[in-house]
Amino acid sequence: MSYQEQEIAKTNLLKHLKVLDSDEGIRVEDKIGFVFINKTSRRYCVNISKNGFDEFFYMYNAEEILNFLSSKLDPMSKIFLY
């Protein structure tokens, strides 16, 4: 099995969050650092990694994640599905 990663548009982030499987993830490269988003059967985990420090936030739906990230992400951030 090979590792596959694809860049996705910010406009498609909500769609990808809603269908995210437990063995997939989303990585955002941004001026604040990195944001990793994963999903378990019950909730999403949003990990913000900046300057060697990690903060974890737990949310229950994709819209909540978009609202949370809207003020934190730069319009030029790159988003990857892996």
Task: Confirm whether 13 is domain-assigned.
Answer: yes
CA-to-CA dists, residue 10 to 14, 36, 42, 69, 71, angstroms:
8, 15, 24, 11, 14
Task: Confirm whether 57 is domain-assigned.
Answer: yes
- Contact between 28 and 34 (Cβ < 8 Å): yes
pLDDT at 2 over 80: no
Domain range holding 18?
6-81
User: d(Cα 48, Cα 35) in Å, to the nearest integer?
Assistant: 5
Count of CA atoms in the C-beta half-sphere (13 A) of 26: 27
Return the bridge partners of 81, or none: 6, 26
pLDDT of amino acid 50: 93
Task: Confirm whether 1 is domain-assigned.
Answer: no
Task: Confirm whether 42 is domain-assigned.
Answer: yes
Task: Confirm whether 27 is domain-assigned.
Answer: yes
pLDDT of amino acid 1: 54
Please count the structural domains in the chain.
1
pLDDT at 36 over 60: yes
